[in-house]
Structure 1
Amino acid sequence: MASYVVVDASPSVTSNILLVIAQFIFETVDDTRQVVVQKENFEKFSSHLERTAFFLKELSTCEINFFERLHDTVDDLKLEIKVAKQLASECRNRNKIYLFLNCRKIIDDIEKSTKNISKLMSLFTLGSMDVSSEVIEQLRILCKNMLDAEYQPAAVEEEILQKIERGIEERNVDRSYANNLLVRIAESVGISSELSEIKVEFENFKHEMENNELRSNGTEALRMEQIILLLGKADVVTTPKEKETKYFKKRNSLGRQLLEPLQSFYCPITGDVMVDPVETSSGHSFERTAIEKWLEEGNDLCPLTKTPLKRISLRPNRTLHQSIEEWRNRNTMISIASMKPDIQSSNEQEVLNCLEKLHDFCVGSELHREWIVMEDYIPIITGLLCTKSHEIRLLALTILYCLAKDADDNKEIIAKVDDGIQYIVRSLARKIEESTMALKLLLELSRSSAVMNFIGNVQGCILLLVTLVNSDDTQAAKYALEVLDNLAFLDQNVIQMARAKYFGPLLHRLCTGPMSTQMIMADTLADMELTDHNKLDLFRNGALKPLLQLLVHDAEEYKAAAVKALENLSSVAQNGLQMIREGATHPLFELLFCHTLLFPKLREWVAITIMHLARSITVQEASEDQVSFLKSEDVFKLFSLISLSGPSMQQTLLCTFHAICSSPSSFDVRTTLRQISAVKVLVQLCELDDHDVRAHAVKLFHDLTEDGDHRTFSEHVNTRCIETLVRIIRTSRDEDEIAAAMGIISNLPRDFQMSQQLLDSGAVEVIFDCLTCRNTHASYKKEVIENAAQALSRFTVSTKPEWQKKVAEGGTILVLVSLLASGTSLTKQNVAVSLKQFSESSSNLSKPMKNMGPFSCCFKPPETNCPVHHGICSVESSFCLLEANAVKPLVMVLGEQDSGACEASLDAISTLIDGEKLQNGVKVLEEANAFLPIIKLLNSSCTRLQEKSLEVLQRIFRLVEFKQKYGNFAQMSLVDITQRGTSNAKSLAAKILAQLNVLHEQSSFF
């Protein structure tokens, strides 16, 4: 007998299904936010999913009369969300390198899922539902936005993928190429920079590629094998022991005879072995530069076949190129291994020849340097430093420098050679050329923490270095000072002494030498790592004047040297102020807007220097001296550069304006920025993928909203802008950026349309998340909490009970109460404002007690009515302060030093004694010990707070019982107010004194 499943198509079942799907989407959104790859794309995807879930929740409250027709749609939607959740789960759990290499497929899957969900959701707009046309229209907009959504790989991902494809195509054997790729992939997906971590992740990647699922896709399996072969050449995935074993195995198999190049290796034009062979249409190969020169000279026939030849027909001969490289490396390996007897001979010329060859090998390739180390040449070369020949010592130092540079393992090998460091130190006292090379080598060695003590323990080393610091050779002095700086175990007094000896001659040459010498000194200052104390000393002793002279010199290289030095020295606020006073701003601006600069970086250096000057005017000294920085026309010109510059420059300029807007005298600048519609540009920058630029744009946007002049920015704040701000708060990891975005929301106009847009964009949810983060992150930035509390207060107004209900869902009121104890004064003030607004609605929302009849007590315990609101109260239904246990925390805030927090708290408390609530409300306040703190507020220096406390006491003292209990405590303060207070306060105080029978009601104080 056939069985049939009966589907309940009632509206309640429909609503429940939609709610289940919405909850499933929210879970998926949580999964997408934990994905560490494709973060920007998943953030955009999660934003669409979240809005979809909100619409499903909205639709679940409606009467839906077409469930049977949408039954398949709902099933398809569930399946599509399941696919999205599975995608997020895979991107959380699979190997990060694999995910990076498949980022294009992941992006295609995200885009496909977004479009499928959009099409399914659009079907809900076609049926019969008891839902407003506004909601339907917003749903249509969401569907369109999802349908139009485009997801892109980041520029760095595209660049790396293209390099991988090029490496595979060209069969690139350069290990540095593979190293760079693997390290950049690790950075992109959040793998630790520790080489061991990268190695583990790469090994896991290789293991994962061996699974059966991938093997079934032949094309994909081949691609992954090629990538593994390419990346496997990187040092980071091979241990030193593995590299050594591989090297000697290959070297021992080669023999000792050099192999002659094949005839095909020679270029027919030059007769030399080719470096970059290209193949012509005739099938012959030539050196690229040679055949290109042949064509440029007007020849249009092949040199060998005399057939027509065009430049466009040239193509790289990668197979030949690889063969030539393998031949070169084979012969290099044999040459390096066979030179040991010659380099240890007594024939000086023979030794020099070997050293020159070794030097050429070192310069040629990182791989060759590694082979030289494996062949144990370091002890041999180091031993040559004690020979009598200056040329041999100089070449030996140069080779050791090449081997030590950027290779900590080689630094340690050099340091552990018997007397090796001592031999290097001896060279410090020899000819200038040898001394300088020894210094460069010591500087490189001193960058390794494992080598520092070897250097410092050599007798006389420190004394020699200090002596060199004061030498006439500026370059040698600079190297010597850097070595001393790197020797962390040294007494700081030694380093300061060296600096003092160094700065004297440097300043003398800077101030008195010819312009060419001044430029060299400026370059030296630009490159030095200086303490703030050093920077101040240099300016005090006259460094600024010659630098400003260089700044206005006609030659651009002089200007560049001056700007770099000023950039370094201006990072100290006092120096920045001195530069402004001495007129540095004008020439810097001229350089910034010069369109004929030869130095590409010069404009960026100027911008950073101007940023330092802007930061200097934020200090107290600038305010006291009334230092003027920018005129309105300068503001306009400087801000216009933001739209015309690249990300690095944009970031610097935005930092500059943020610093200016943080200064005490920023009003005129803010006004000018509003007048030139700066907010319009900032709104666009807030949508960028570049986090650094976006974060600084958000901060400056926040600065421009703080004065409350809504007219100048509200026209640029539309739904898209609000959604962008909400997304930033939800997804950013930069707490300064989150605080600024939340600050913008808190400062937006408090009209109905703006608040409704914020609600629709999920602002309440992210505000609640920020407030609750305080409980899980003790160091969470206080500005985030302060701004979130202020932003929330726009949704708690008593004139909008439906907003209050939405805010109260999920325990928001209890979170607010907890912040009365843990928040800053500003947070407490904003929290108290919200609690006051909630409390204003409590009387209307408190449910009347039901008369259950004489026998009701036999069935269930009676419900307790609220002593203030005379009904049944709860935190989420009537927002009752008593049920939330908020009264005592509010009373505690009355003792704060901040008058704003006290006033807001007093306003919240006073809602309990409005009108008919007075009798019972006063008893509640007495239980909370509120009266003495309120009486203490009579002595506040804040006039408004004093007057509000008078109004509250006037109400309380209407009740005889409380007048008798607490009147005496207030008398002295009331009398004082009648003599020194404002006219309004005097009148209120006199009325209360009359209530207390201290003054007659007809007294002249009224």
Structure 2
Amino acid sequence: MAGDSIDHASLIPASELLFHTVLSISDITKAANQILIQKDNFRKFSTHLENVSLILKRLSKEDIHHAESLKNSLGVLNQQVKAAKQLVSECNSKSKIYLFINSRKIAENLECCTKSISRAVSVIPLTSLDVSSGLSKQISELCQNMLDDEYKAAAAEEEILEKLELAIQEGNAERSNANQLLAHIVDVIGISTEHAVIKREFKELKSDMQISEPRRDIAEALHMEQIVGLLEKADSATSSQEKERKYFEKRNSLGQQLLEPLHSFYCPISLDIMEDPVETSSGKTFERKAIEKWLAAGNKNCPLTMLPLDTSKLRPNKTLRQSIQEWKDRNTMITLSTLKSKLESDDEAEILQSLEKLQGLCLERQMHREWVKMENYITTLIKLLGARNREIRKSVLSTLSLLAKDNEENKEDVAKVDHALESIVRSLARPIEESKLAAELLLELSRSTTVRDLIGDVQGSILLLVTMLSSDDAEAANNARELLDNLSFLNHNVIEMAKANYLKPLLQNLSSGTENVKIIMTRTLSEIELTDHNKASIVKDGALQPLLQLLSNPDVQIKEVAVKALLQLSTLPENGLQMIREGVAQSLFELLYRHSLQSTALREQATDTMMHLAMSTTHQRADEVQVSLLDSEDDVFKFFSLVSFTGPYIQSKILKTFLAMCQSPSGLTIRERLRQLSAVQVLVQLLELNNQTVRENAVKLFYYMTEGGDCSHFTSHITERCIIVLLTIIKTTEDAEEMVSAMGIISRLPRESQITRWLLDSGAVKIILDCLSDRHKHASHKRQVIENSVLALCRFTVSTNLEWQKAVAQEGIIPILVQLLESGTPLSKQNAAISIKQFSESSWLLSKPIKKPGIFKFCFVPHETGCPAHLGSCTVESSFCIIEADALKPLVRLLREQEIGTCEASLDALLTLIHGGTPQGGACKVLADADAITPLINLLSLQSARLEEKILVALEKIFQVDEIKNKYKASATMPLVAMTQRKDSHRLRSLAARVLAQLGVLEKQSSYF
């Protein structure tokens, strides 16, 4: 029903008209959400329509059955909804490429529809309908939002559309450009890259263009055809058979004679055939570079007419440029059709001349390389690899490399020719100029997975390439090394054996060769794939000192090669420790601290190496060898100061380096030095950066710096903005360690009232509560998250600030703390007990006295007994009573824990019942009923003076209750007597004696007092 148009709106009641319009809008929103192009725009459009629908539904509940004025406005709205429906329907039926090309037009139409619907809604007669002021305001705001909203093609779509327009404007119809543009489009619209799928999309695109053609103006239709013509140049848009058919149809229609260029093709200034002809204000055409050079020399008149020139008007002569290109293409096709026969002659000079011409054409345009393949030159060229003339073979290898570059089909076609790969491999064994070209060609071919398998199977290929590694020609060695890496997964064992045999001469050349040989060996060492065993052997055999010598070379490129080699060797921890011992760290540090050094790559690699060296100091062997990465406070200062003068990549690596050092045996010293340098100030600034990696490492290092030290001197650097950033990280980060670190920082911040107030105002309690629940996303770090969260809570539960206590209690924290007493880690239990103790200290103040009932009520109303400990009316929420919170039993169980810290925290919480208010027997009986007395007595054997003193003071109060004293006298006597024998503390002996006197074991006049 919703899909039917409402043609007779005047005959339909307003309520039914509303119903039909709402259904139509519902259909549109469903259809809009299915469109895969411009998802954000259509999502925004759907949201506006859904809001309109909600308003119409609210209107339908009013008494509007006879509201004629409403029917008129609904009729207008219905017409706009129909237009929107048509637009969405078209976008759902068109091909994805068609929609992409028309992205801007679609965005314009969506904006137009939104504004039209807004205007239609705004004319609804709200006053006459007597709707509520709230609904009227809502309609007004919605209409304004719809009018203000703008629709644009996505940034990725705009970027590709601009590249398409530029390619058309510049006439860049090369296959590689078309491939690249189509690949971007396919990625954005989300279709498969399979040839059949793209072909189907293009077929639908052309069908859509034919349907839409009558509605388009000429310029728009021409622009669309130009875009499609460009994209059809891509490999996946047109099959090779179709391209070949079109090529030969055109080539066979040209004849055999080359055409001379027209006179108009020549530039009047340079007298060369023009490539980029431009027309001046005088009406004459010149080559752009030539006329620009003429004008740059100070000439202001046309070189032909001598009329004054307007230098701002150089208009591209596209028609002439296209004519010149067509003439060139025609002659190139004719040349290629006749050149092959000359390559098959016996005249070496003619062959060389023809090869030179062929190579020139291949270099000139990628399209020419396609034509060379269609003319089947590859087979002819492979045959020429058997020629005796070295120059012919070299020219063939160069030409084949050009044909194979960035072309998967050509790579495979080369490999398919009989004995082609064997012929190329044979050239590896020839003089360096030819072997280098052969390696370059094989390297290009190896980028095809299919061909790579075949190269590895050619007999002798691996050993010939390994031999080339020691070539004096750096380019040849590099090509061989990269090719070996490409082949390594196929012939791993063969290559490892070859490398092992090669490593020894490589090290010998590194130590004793000429400087040029050393550089080649170092480059090989930096890029060749090495196992951990290889790396260990190289360092053990003395590679570090030669590399350090190259590191001191003034040439930056040589430094880069040396650092890159050191970087590869440093990934093995044992090597890292040895490198620190031999002074590599200090050399890298000095190199990094030279502000005049301009090479970003060198700085990045040096920082990476320093990071690996720092990580090696955390290795299990670091304690044995006693190494230190940065020896002095000055070194720490200089290295950390680089964070303020470098980019994100180096910043993150420096932070990781300090993170590793903080975890090393010298970590305490590093943390203390960083504190002295006020490094926190820098880290707080880094927290607010947009770079996620830098921020993550800054948070983690900040966390380490708060460990085991006084954090009070951080206060001046902690701002409300810093608090908000840390809490945002906890809520949003995907990095579990970053979340743990941020919560850890919160837990260790100085407990100053201003910082606590900022935390409360920023919603810290709710965030901590989420972390304590099972809802947080970092289950792998659950233990650390909970430990840090419970510690963070302790600052809010101090009994000196009832406002804070009430704020966190209202969030339901106390039951969670009690639960943690049962299920938490020892540290979580300890801090949970501390918070419960702090809450309980306020219970005496908050417990409400029980009013005595009158005589009449006393007889008929049950008497309210109140809390047995606090003797008042208690609840968890109002007085934080640990009895009401069911915390007694878990606290008593903690008294039996092995961790002294946990025991003491639990003891402190329990003793608030007898220390918080006026001593009385009720609280003591509560402890006795909870079976707390026996574990208290047992704790006297822990030999912890502080814990023992707390227990003795407590027992002195508890044993004032005769019932409890008589019950536990026997079990308490011996531990107390033993304490009176201790000679290390007069205070404890005296306290123990006082309790024994209370039990009647000692006289009150005993010498123990």
User: What is the TM-score normalised by the length of structure 2?
Assistant: 0.67
Report the Cα offset of residue 750 of structure 1. 1.2
SS at match of 1:530: coil
Mapped contact 1:990–1:1005 kept (Cα < 8 A): yes
Count of residues paired in the alignment: 854
Q: Note if 1:923 corresponds to 2:919.
A: no
How much has 1:508 moved relative to structure 2? 0.8
CA gap of 1:162–1:347, structure 2 versus 1, over 3 A, is same
- State the partner residue of 1:507: 507
Q: CA distance change for structure 1 residues 868 and 331 in 2, over 3 Å: closer, same or farther?
A: farther
Task: Tell whether 2:253 aligns with 1:254.
Answer: no
Cα shift at 1:299:
3.8
Contact 2:362 2:368 in 1 (8 A): yes
Deviation at 1:507, TM superposition (A): 1.0
1:491-534 deviation line (CA, Å, top 9, x unaligned): 86544432322221111111111223222222222333434443
Query: What is aligned with 1:432?
Result: 432
Contact 2:469/2:481, CA 8 A, preserved across alignment:
yes
How far, CA to CA, are the matches of 1:967 and 1:322 in structure 2? 113
**Residue 397 of structure 1: CA displacement?**
4.3
Letter in 2 for 1:648: Y
Kindly provide the CA deviation profile for residues 811-851 of structure 1, in whole angstroms up to 9, marking residues without a partner as x. 55555566667765544544444344445455666778999
Deviation at 1:772, TM superposition (A): 3.7
Higher Rg of the two aligned structures? 2
Query: 8 Å contact 2:797–2:805 — kept in the other structure?
Result: yes
Residue aligning to 1:763: 764
Q: Which residue of 2 aligns with 1:68?
A: none
What is the deviation of 1:405?
5.2
Structure 2 residue identity aligned to 1:247: K
Q: Does 1:793 align with 2:799?
A: no
**Separation (CA, whole Å) in 1 of partners of 2:579 and 2:817:** 48
Q: How many angstroms does 1:714 deviate by?
A: 2.0
CA offsets 1:264-293 (integer angstroms, 9 cap, x no match): 554333233444555544454444443344
SS at match of 1:559: helix
CA distance in 1, matches of 2:970, 2:725: 55
| Counterpart mapping for 1:294-305 below 5 A | 294-305=294-305
Tell me which residue corresponds to 1:633: 634
Aligned partners of 2:794 and 2:831 also within 8 Å? yes
1:728 paired with 2:724, answer: no
Q: Give, in whole Å, the separation in 1 of the partners of 2:325 and 2:172.
A: 10
SS at structure 2 position matched to 1:714: helix
Structure 2: any 5+ residue segments left out of the alignment?
1-37, 45-87, 112-152, 917-921
| Deviation per residue, 1:659-709 (Å, 9 max, x gap) | 444444355655555555444343333222232333333334444444554
Maintained 8 Å contact 1:351/1:392: yes
1:223-266, CA deviations, whole angstroms, 9 ceiling, x for partnerless residues?
Answer: 9998998699679x977364546634653553343777665554
2: CA distance, partners of 1:854 / 1:402: 112
- In the TM superposition, what is the alpha-carbon distance from 1:547 to its structure 2 partner? 1.8
Map Cα deviations across residues 881-936 of structure 1 (whole Å, 9 max, x no partner). 6776666666776777765455545545655676643423443467xxx966x777
- Equivalence for 2:120: none
Kindly indicate whether the alpha-carbon contact (under 8 Å) linking 1:469 and 1:501 is maintained by their aligned counterparts in 2: no
Q: 1:508 is aligned with what amino acid?
A: Q
- Take 2:168 and 2:954, find their aligned partners in 1: how far apart are those partners? 81
Written as runs of structure 1 = structure 2, the 5 A alignment for 1:205-224 is: none
TM-superposed deviation, 1:808: 4.3
Distance 1:517 1:225 in 2: 61
> In the alignment, is the contact (CA less than 8 A) between 2:980 and 2:990 conserved in 1?
no
Q: Distance in 1 between matches of 2:888 and 2:102?
A: 54
Question: In 2, distance between residues paired with 1:745 and 1:762?
Answer: 13
SS at match of 1:303: coil
Q: Cα 1:616–1:342, aligned 2, differ >3 Å: closer, same or farther?
A: same
User: 2 CA distance for matches of 1:956 and 1:346?
Assistant: 119
Q: How far has the Cα of 1:786 moved from its partner?
A: 3.7
* CA shift for structure 1 position 156: 10
Q: Could you give the per-residue CA deviations for residues 287-342 of structure 1, whole angstroms, max 9, x where no partner exists?
A: 44433443454544333333445866657667766776677677767766886666
Supply the distance in 2 between the matched residues of 1:546 and 1:583 (Cα, whole angstroms).
12
Query: C-alpha offsets along residues 165-191 of structure 1, whole Å, 9 cap, x if unaligned?
Result: 86687676566567767878999x9x9
Q: Could you tell me how far apart the structure 1 residues matched to 2:224 and 2:682 are?
A: 42
2:588 aligned with 1:582, yes or no? Answer: no
Code of the aligned partner of 2:925: Q
8 Å Cα contact 1:251-1:334 kept in structure 2: no
Q: Does the CA contact (< 8 Å) of 2:269 and 2:290 recur in 1?
A: yes
How far is 1:756 from its partner? 0.9
Q: Which amino acid in the other structure matches residue 795 of structure 1?
A: F
State the distance in 1 between where 2:551 and 2:223 align: 54
CA contact (8 A) 1:894 1:906 kept: yes
The equivalent of 2:742 in structure 1 is 741
Tell me which moved more, 740-749 or 475-484.
Answer: 475-484
The answer to whether the 8 Å contact 1:938/1:946 transfers is yes
Tell me how far 1:538 sits from its aligned partner: 2.0
Contact 1:957/1:967 (CA < 8 Å) preserved in 2? no
Q: How many angstroms apart in 2 are the aligned matches of 1:671 and 1:99?
A: 61
**In the aligned structure 2, how far is the partner of 1:589 from the partner of 1:832?**
48
Partner of 2:519: 519
**Offset at residue 712 of structure 1 (A):** 3.7
Q: Is 1:498 the counterpart of 2:494 in the alignment?
A: no
Which position in structure 2 is the counterpart of 1:646? 647
Paired residue for 2:139?
Answer: none
CA distance in 2, matches of 1:953, 1:414: 95
Q: Say if 1:956 and 1:963, in contact at 8 Å, map to a contact too.
A: no
1:379-413 deviations in whole A, cap 9, x for unaligned? 66556656666555544544554555566666566
1:414-813 mapped onto 2 (5 Å cutoff): 420-446=420-446, 450=450, 453-462=453-462, 464=464, 483-487=483-487, 494-597=494-597, 599=599, 601-619=601-619, 625=626, 627=628, 629-666=630-667, 670=671, 673-674=674-675, 677-706=678-707, 708-710=709-711, 712-772=713-773, 776-780=777-781, 783-809=784-810, 811-813=812-814
Q: 1:968 to 1:470 in 2, by over 3 A?
A: farther
Query: Do the aligned residues in 2 keep the contact of 1:446 with 1:486 (CA within 8 Å)?
Result: yes
Partners of 1:731 and 1:855 lie apart in 2 by 62
Tell me the amino acid that sits aligned with residue 745 of structure 1: I
Tell me the TM-score normalized by structure 1. Answer: 0.68
Pair 754,430 (structure 1): closer, same or farther in 2 beyond 3 Å = same
- In 2, the alpha carbon distance for the partners of 1:186 and 1:962 equals 86
1:957, distance to aligned residue in structure 2 (A): 7.5
C-alpha displacement at 1:460, in angstroms? 4.7
Instruction: Tell me the distance in 1 between the aligned counterparts of 2:633 and 2:176.
Output: 51
- Quote the offset at 1:946 in angstroms: 6.9
Q: Report if aligned partners of 1:362, 1:403 keep a CA contact under 8 Å in 2.
A: yes
Structure 1 equivalent of residue 53 of structure 2: none
- Show the counterpart of 2:69: none
Do the aligned partners of residues 468 and 606 (structure 1) sit closer, same or farther apart at CA in structure 2, a change above 3 Å counting? closer
Q: CA deviation at 1:720?
A: 2.4
Do the aligned partners of 2:699 and 2:741 also contact (CA within 8 Å) in 1? yes
Distance 1:311 1:791, change over 3 A: farther
Q: Distance in 1 between matches of 2:382 and 2:966?
A: 97
Whole-angstrom CA distance in 1 between matches of 2:102 and 2:953: 66
Partner of 1:291: 291
| 2:304 maps to amino acid | L
User: Could you give the per-residue CA deviations for residues 945-986 of structure 1, whole angstroms, max 9, x where no partner exists?
Assistant: 676677778877877669858975996799599659877667
Structure 2 letter corresponding to 1:520: I
Question: Could you say if the C-alpha distance between residues 699 and 167 of structure 1 is closer, same or farther in structure 2, counting changes exceeding 3 Å?
Answer: farther
Please tell me the residue identity of whatever aligns with 2:236. Answer: P
Tell me if the contact between 1:285 and 1:317 (Cα under 8 Å) persists in the aligned partners.
yes
Q: Which runs of 5+ in 1 are unaligned?
A: 1-35, 43-89, 110-152
For the 8 Å contact 1:607–1:653, the answer to whether it is kept is yes
